[in-house]
Amino acid sequence: MPGSLERRSWKPSRRHDTIDWSNQTTPALISLVPGTYSNLGPTWTAGFTLKTATLGIAYDTWIEAAIGGSGNDMLIGNSRDNQLYGGDGDDTLSGGGGNDLLDGGNGFDTALFSGAFHDYTIMNTARTK
């Protein structure tokens, strides 16, 4: 994400919205929680110093899905039903509330859970050689 992006805000449409970082190699922290900021990897600024590019989710705004890149990403869902896809890298996924789908993708991934274990359905769909 080269350029001088420092802050962006998101006001989504009325359909299914996704933050897609899948074509990036830098790690990202993507939060779908309204009123929070996401750190979307480094970006170049004048003087060749690195700053973290930030994306803000407006209050009362609901993003349904996030897709990580090939870095070690952290994806955080909101209180609604979310789909979180880690992609490559050693990712950490936290669904929040709702009926969430967490798919770590390739790598050594971590899912963070809260509440009672019996409230979850956990499937290992990894392919082995």
pTM of the model: 0.80
Pairing of strands 37-44, 28-31: antiparallel
Match 């963070």 to its residue by tokens.
Answer: 112
Q: How far apart are CA 68 and CA 31, in angstroms?
A: 11
Residue 7 has pLDDT above 60, yes or no: no
Pairing of strands 83-85, 65-67: parallel
- Chain segment 45-91, per-residue pLDDT in tens: 556 666 666 889 999 899 999 999 999 999 999 999 999 999 999 99
Lowest mean pLDDT among 16-25, 35-44, 98-107: 35-44
Question: What are the residue ranges spanned by the domains of the chain?
Answer: 22-56+64-111
- Chain segment 65-77, per-residue pLDDT in tens: 999 999 999 999 9
Are the C-beta atoms of residues 69 and 85 closer than 8 Å to each other?
no
